[in-house]
Each structure stands twice: as C-alpha cells, then as structure tokens.
C-alpha cells in the first residue's frame, strides 16, 4: 500500500509539473490541447492514460487523504535527503579538502549543527506572526537551495587551481564560500523545520484525526528514509574522482546531488500550491510567553522591597497584566523546562557520530568482503537501527517491563537512554585504544619530527645538536645512475614491480602499516547510541507533550531544539579547551560527564510530580467561573441591599410626611 502511494505520488508530481507548464504557461494552450495533441494521441491508449491521470490530479482527496499532503511528504523526503546527504560528508570535506585539523573540523561541524537547531525558533516566530507557514517555507527553501548550491561550487577545486596540480591555490575563496553556504543552509533547514509538519497537519479537517496520525507516521518515515538513502549514496559519490584538469575526490558531486534534491523539493512544494489550505498567521505563543515572563520578572524587581507582600509563585507578579489561565499554563511549562537543563549533555555525545566517529572510521579497515564501506557510510547504522528498534521497544520491550511489575516511567526511560549513550562512548574509547596500537607515532602540536632515510650503499653517521650521534646502516635498494627509486604500496594487496634497470635486490620497508582495525567494531557503539536515542529522544518528546498545555506544545518544541543546540556548543568548548593528547581519553571524558549528568537528572526526575494539564486547565476554568459567579452573587446581593435600604428610607420618609 505504501509503495503504491509513493508511486502514485511520483506520477502525480511529474504530471502536475507537465500540465502546469503545458496548459497554463502558453497563451495558445487551448488550441494546442484541442488540435495537435488530440490528433496525435487520437485512438491511442497513451492519451487515455494521461487523461485518467489528469482526472485524478484534479481530485481534492485520494484514499481519504488530501492530495496536497502528497506534495508535502515528497518535499520532506527530498529536503531530508539534501540535509543529511550534505552533512554526512561535511567533516571529511573540512579535513581533506579544506585541510583543517580534526579539532577545527569538529568545531565548525558542531557550530553548523547548533545553528540548525537554533533557527527553528526564528522560523516559528516568523511563520506564526508575519508570513504564515506557506510563505515561510517558500522563502527559506530558496535560501536553503542557494546555500546548497554554494556548497557544491565551493567544492570544485578547479576554480582556483591555476597550476593544475589538483590543489586549490586560493583556499580562502573555498572557505568563505562554504561558510556562507553553511550559514544559508542552517537558516533554511532550521527555519522550515517547525513549519512543514505543522503545515501538513493543517491540511486535514477536524474529523480526520486518524488520517492526520497516519500522515505524521509517514512523515517521520520519510525523514528516516531520506536520511538512510542519503548517508548511503553521498559517501559513494564523494569517493568518485572528478575534475576538469585533475582528478580528485568528488566533493562537488557529493554536495551537488543534495543541492539538486533541494531544488526538486522546492519545485514540488510550489507545484502543489493551488491545493494547500493556507491558514493566516495568528500570532506566536512563544512571544506571548516571553512577554509574560519578562513582565513578571520586571514587576517583581519593582516590588522587591519588604513592604510588598510575597506571592506564592514569582509568575504571579504578572497577574496585573496577563490572564490567570495563561500564567498557570506557563507555570506548567516552566516545570518541564527545568528538567531540560541537564539534557544538552546527551546531544553533546549523540551528534559526535557525524564528526568524531566518522574521523575515527577513517583510520579503520572498511572492507566487508567484496563490499567497501566508506567512513561516512557508517552513519547509516543509525537510521537502520531506529527503524528497527522503535517498533521493538514499543511492542516488546516496554510491555515486557510492564508485565514484570516495574513502573518504567518516561523519565526513567530517558535516564536509561542517557546511560546507554555513555556506554556508546565507552565502546568508542575501547575501539580507539585498539586503533592507537596500529597507528604510527606522530608528533604532538608542540613537537616536530625529523625522518632520516639512508638510500646509499654505505653507513651514514648523523650528528644532531643536543642529541647523541646516530648511525644509519645502508639500505639494500635499487640504485640508478642519477636517481634512486622508492616504491610505496598504498593498497591492501601485494603489488608486483618489474624493472630492467635494477640488478640488486629490493628490500621491502613498511613505514606505515595499512588500517587493520575493522569498522565492524563501531557497530556496538552505534547500537548503544541509537538505543539511547530511542529511549531518550522519542520518550522525551512524548513526555514533554503529555505534560504541556495544548497551546504550549510549540514552546516545549522550541525548548527541546534549544537543548540540541546547546549540546553541540558544549562539543566546541571541549574540543577547543580540553586538548587531550589521546582521543580515547576524550571519549572517556564525555562518557563520564554524561554519567554525572545522568545521576543529576535521575534525582530531579525522582522529585517530579506528573500532572494532567487538560484536567488542571478544566479545574482552573471552573474555579475562575465559580469566582465570577461568586462576584455576580455578591454584586446582586449588594444591589438587593441597596434596593432594600432605598425602600426602607422611602417608607420612613412617607411615614414622617403623614405625621
């Protein structure tokens, strides 16, 4: 059924584009359709087929679903492919194309990811307050597309390779263009993130709750499907060699395909514009919340002296200006946001699978039999395991734990998820220890290295200032009259070398051994981090939504995304400040920090009291109504007393006048 829907969607998309172009852009569309095209397709099955498809295109609903959502689903799939495909090869682009060291590459990578999770707040405010969701998606998608194109252009080494040696001569041009591209991508992908799903939900009427739930399930499936395919395909494209004057790793193609998919996403979304329900902007609740909190703080500061009586909660100082129900809802949200404080540490570890773990894989053996896995393709285990573990957790693990009589609350699940993420980094540290055993000893940042090789036929004595004399024995090598040849085998298989100029024997010298630690050793750490993501992220969103009022869910979504951004900024701080000499020690440091945070979060969760926001809102409204009824009764009683007093005074005056 799903395959049929996707196939139908693709057909409708191309049909929509074809007919829009063919029938609406030409002033002679009516004549063309009625004369030549009809004559050409007359008595032809193809004409009947296109007629039927165009008929289906003109429908508003397909299988009970608004036709507009198919455009939104395809748009999301293409956009996620574009984003995750570009991001999969980004850290390797920094290291090998821009020639940055690993710490700088990691820092810029996580800065970009942090910006991608900060800009959704801006996008939500712009969409709800000014432009509306549709225009916000269109405008920011254009910005997004320009950014992707800029990244593809920045990876073309031939642009500044004047001497045609395969290395860009003006690296500043490539760095500046790539940074501009990344900024535009962060602005675009983050800005449309809170709009697309909500815009899809707007297409359903109130009685289509079942269809809306199915849409969000398919929407989430498209996100993971786009991520999975892109992390498989773009590393393969990166591994190809391309160029005009010299053949180098094809980062331009690896960025160009995601850019093309973003163009497709934009075109698909625009093509379906005539079918969308476009709700007018009604104001952003986040702005109201921020204003209310700001007024409460300001009012409390004004009345900080002891002559003013204290109030039960500091938010109560906003009662002079804001509705009591809004204040009560903000109090509920603040309780959840308080629990968010330790959460960024989880994202600090989680997002390193695209940076540190990818760089770790570059020092490992990726041969799985005849299949060669690229270092950046190891990230595909994450979406594969997500699609596998989510149904297993929901249908097997959680019900089994419940049958055992253990109250596995959402906050307990999140705690276990954080612990699993820490275990993933312990696994990464153990793998790094094994890798370090096979790596040559390189000098640190404060050291230098001098390599001496005697290619002569007799021993050589070397005198270094401050060191003892070194004697280098003669190496048995092939010597020519004017040149000495040295063969370097960079492959993982023997190579036969044949030359007629050599009469002496050839001595095999292996300076650096090939990568021998297998990439399969990374699978356990990917399993633990993904299991932690399922228990932490999915459960965390579910918990947040269940504990927030209906009109405050956007605020919690913004808060959740903000924790992801803060987590990536923490990576920057550690990468730039810690400067640990051993990578395994850095992994252990991150794991230890998360375990510490996990303990703090478990204590906070222990004292948290679960609430039912809808019930509290009903009780609060009932209390407000009762208070208003009491006020009405009091006012009526006062009016009755005034009337009675007036009547009594009238009687007294009447009696006095009779006397």
With beta carbons less than 8 A apart as the criterion, state whether 215 and 200 touch: yes
The Cα 403–Cα 97 span in angstroms is: 54
pLDDT at 262 over 90: yes
pLDDT of residue 643: 56
With beta carbons less than 8 A apart as the criterion, state whether 497 and 468 touch: no
Determine what percent of the chain is predicted with pLDDT higher than 90: 34
Identify which of 244, 106, 19 has the alpha carbon closest to the alpha carbon of residue 579: 106
pLDDT of residue 58: 52
Task: Give the mean model confidence (pLDDT) for residues 431-458.
Answer: 75
Q: Would you put residue 549 in left (φ > 0), alpha (ψ -120 to 50) or beta?
A: beta
| Per-residue model confidence as pLDDT tens digits over 293-313 | 999 999 888 888 888 888 888
pLDDT at 426 over 90: yes
Task: Give the mean model confidence (pLDDT) for residues 22-40.
Answer: 34
Residue of 95 and 464 predicted with greater confidence: 95
The Cα 113–Cα 558 span in angstroms is: 15
C-beta neighbour count of 386 within 10 angstroms: 20
The Cα 254–Cα 111 span in angstroms is: 21
The Cα 353–Cα 382 span in angstroms is: 9
> Which of the four pLDDT bands, split at 50, 70 and 90, describes residue 445?
low
Window from 11-25, 428-442, 453-467, 563-577 with minimum mean pLDDT: 11-25
Task: Give the mean model confidence (pLDDT) for residues 338-346.
Answer: 93
- Estimate to the nearest angstrom the gap between the alpha carbon of 369 and the chain centroid: 32
- Helix/strand number for the chain, H first, E second: 23, 8
Window from 480-494, 531-545, 592-606 with minimum mean pLDDT: 480-494
Q: Are strands 65-66 and 241-242 parallel, antiparallel or unpaired?
A: unpaired
Residue of 299 and 471 predicted with greater confidence: 299
In this chain, the answer to whether the domains covering 1-283 and 323-435+520-611 adopt an identical fold is yes
pLDDT of residue 193: 87
Task: Give the mean model confidence (pLDDT) for residues 267-294.
Answer: 86
With beta carbons less than 8 A apart as the criterion, state whether 88 and 233 touch: no
- Length in residues, the chain: 659
Task: Indicate the pTM of the whole model.
Answer: 0.76
- Estimate to the nearest angstrom the gap between the alpha carbon of 394 and the chain centroid: 23
pLDDT at 561 over 90: no
Give bridge partners of residue 241 from the DSSP assignment.
Answer: 249
Window from 197-201, 320-324, 406-410, 651-655 with minimum mean pLDDT: 651-655
- Residue 399, both tokens: 């019900």
Q: Which CATH number fits domain 323-435+520-611: 3.40.50.11260, 1.20.1250.20, 3.20.20.70, 3.40.190.10?
A: 1.20.1250.20
Task: Give the mean model confidence (pLDDT) for residues 324-345.
Answer: 89
With beta carbons less than 8 A apart as the criterion, state whether 157 and 97 touch: yes
Task: Give the mean model confidence (pLDDT) for residues 389-399.
Answer: 87
pLDDT of residue 98: 92
With beta carbons less than 8 A apart as the criterion, state whether 183 and 147 touch: yes
The Cα 562–Cα 120 span in angstroms is: 9
DSSP assignment of 146-186 equals: HHHHHHHHHT-GGGT-TT-SSS-S-HHHHHHHHHHHHHHHH
pLDDT of residue 346: 95
Q: What is the CATH number of domain 1-283?
A: 1.20.1250.20
Task: Give the mean model confidence (pLDDT) for residues 416-444.
Answer: 89
Helix, strand, coil shares of the chain, percent, nearest 5, are: 70, 5, 25
pLDDT at 648 over 70: no
Residue of 430 and 279 predicted with greater confidence: 430
Winning range, highest mean pLDDT, from 382-386, 496-500, 538-542 = 382-386
| Per-residue model confidence as pLDDT tens digits over 216-261 | 778 877 888 888 899 999 999 998 888 888 788 899 999 999 999 9
With beta carbons less than 8 A apart as the criterion, state whether 519 and 366 touch: yes
> From residue 116, how far is each of 176, 194, 509, 531, 569 by CA, in Å?
19, 12, 48, 24, 12
End-to-end CA distance of the chain: 99
Supply the mean pLDDT for the chain: 79
Identify which of 354, 347, 350 has the alpha carbon closest to the alpha carbon of residue 94: 354
Task: Give the mean model confidence (pLDDT) for residues 47-60.
Answer: 49
Residue of 461 and 605 predicted with greater confidence: 605
| Per-residue model confidence as pLDDT tens digits over 81-125 | 999 999 999 999 999 999 998 888 998 999 999 999 999 888 888
pLDDT of residue 9: 43
pLDDT of residue 463: 77
> Which of the four pLDDT bands, split at 50, 70 and 90, describes residue 476?
very low
Window from 75-84, 87-96, 343-352, 606-615 with minimum mean pLDDT: 606-615
Residue of 78 and 481 predicted with greater confidence: 78
Going from N- to C-terminal start, the domains of the chain cover 1-283, 285-322, 323-435+520-611, 448-498, 612-658
Identify which of 266, 287, 279 has the alpha carbon closest to the alpha carbon of residue 121: 287
pLDDT of residue 462: 75
pLDDT of residue 89: 94
pLDDT at 54 over 70: no
DSSP H or E segment with residue 371? strand 371-372
> Which of the four pLDDT bands, split at 50, 70 and 90, describes residue 281?
confident
pLDDT of residue 368: 87
């Amino acid at each position: 059924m799903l395959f049929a829907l996707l196939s139908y969607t693709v057909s409708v998309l191309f049909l929509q584009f074809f007919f829009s172009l063919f029938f609406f852009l030409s002033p002679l569309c009516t004549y063309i359709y009625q004369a030549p095209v009809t004559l050409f397709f007359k008595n032809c099955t193809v004409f009947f087929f296109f007629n039927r498809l165009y008929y289906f295109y003109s429908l508003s609903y397909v299988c009970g679903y608004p036709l507009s959502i198919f455009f939104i689903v395809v748009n999301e799939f293409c956009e996620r492919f574009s984003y995750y495909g570009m991001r999969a090869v980004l850290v390797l682009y920094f290291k090998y194309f821009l020639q940055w060291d690993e710490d700088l590459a990691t820092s810029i990578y996580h800065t970009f990811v942090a910006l991608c999770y900060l800009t959704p707040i801006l996008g939500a405010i712009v969409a709800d307050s000014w432009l509306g969701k549709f225009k916000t998606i269109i405008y920011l998608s254009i910005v997004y597309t320009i950014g992707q194109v800029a990244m593809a252009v920045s990876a073309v080494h031939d642009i500044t390779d004047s001497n045609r040696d395969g290395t860009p001569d003006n690296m500043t041009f490539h760095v500046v263009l790539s940074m501009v591209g990344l900024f535009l991508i962060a602005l675009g992908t983050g800005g449309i993130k809170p709009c697309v799903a909500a815009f899809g939900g707007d297409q359903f009427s109130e009685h289509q709750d079942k269809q809306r739930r199915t849409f969000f399930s398919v929407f989430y499936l498209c996100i993971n499907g786009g991520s999975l395919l892109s992390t498989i395909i773009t590393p393969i494209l990166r591994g190809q060699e391309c160029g005009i004057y010299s053949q180098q790793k094809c980062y331009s193609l690896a960025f160009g395909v995601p850019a093309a998919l973003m163009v497709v996403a934009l075109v698909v979304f625009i093509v379906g514009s005539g079918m969308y329900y476009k709700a007018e902007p009604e104001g952003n609740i986040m702005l109201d919340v921020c204003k209310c909190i700001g007024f409460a703080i300001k009012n409390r500061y004004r009345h900080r002296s002891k002559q003013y009586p204290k109030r039960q909660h500091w938010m109560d100082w906003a009662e002079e200006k804001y509705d009591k129900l809004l204040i009560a809802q903000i109090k509920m949200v603040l309780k959840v946001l308080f629990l968010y404080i330790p959460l960024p540490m989880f994202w600090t570890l989680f997002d390193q699978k695209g940076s540190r773990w990818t760089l770790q894989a570059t020092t490992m053996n990726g041969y799985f039999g005849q299949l060669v896995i690229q270092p950046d393709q190891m990230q595909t285990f994450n979406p594969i395991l997500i699609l596998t573990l989510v149904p297993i957790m929901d249908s097997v693990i959680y019900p089994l734990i419940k049958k055992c009589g253990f109250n596995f609350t959402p906050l307990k699940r999140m705690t276990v998820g954080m612990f699993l993420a820490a275990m993933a980094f312990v696994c990464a540290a153990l793998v790094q220890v094994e890798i370090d055993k096979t790596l040559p000893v390189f000098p640190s940042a404060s050291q230098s290295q001098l390599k001496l090789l005697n290619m002569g036929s007799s021993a050589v004595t070397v005198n270094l200032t401050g060191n003892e004399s070194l004697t280098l024995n003669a190496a048995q090598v092939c010597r020519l009259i004017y040149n000495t040849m040295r063969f370097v085998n960079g492959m993982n298989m023997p190579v036969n070398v044949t030359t007629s100029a050599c009469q002496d024997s050839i001595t095999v010298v292996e300076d650096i051994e090939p990568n021998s630690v297998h990439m399969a050793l990374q699978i356990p750490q990917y399993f633990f981090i993904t299991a932690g993501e399922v228990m932490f992220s999915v459960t965390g969103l579910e918990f947040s939504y269940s504990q927030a009022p209906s009109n405050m869910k956007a605020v919690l979504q913004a808060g959740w995304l903000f924790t992801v951004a803060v987590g990536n900024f923490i990576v920057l701080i550690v990468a730039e400040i810690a400067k640990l000499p051993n990578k395994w020690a850095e992994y252990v440091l991150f794991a230890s920090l998360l375990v510490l945070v996990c303990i703090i979060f478990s204590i906070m969760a222990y004292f948290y009291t679960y609430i039912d926001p809808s019930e509290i809102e009903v009780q609060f409204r009932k209390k407000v109504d009762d208070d208003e009824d009491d006020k009405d009764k009091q006012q009526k009683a006062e009016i009755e007393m005034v009337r009675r007093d007036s009547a009594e005074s009238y009687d007294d005056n009447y009696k006095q006048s009779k006397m």
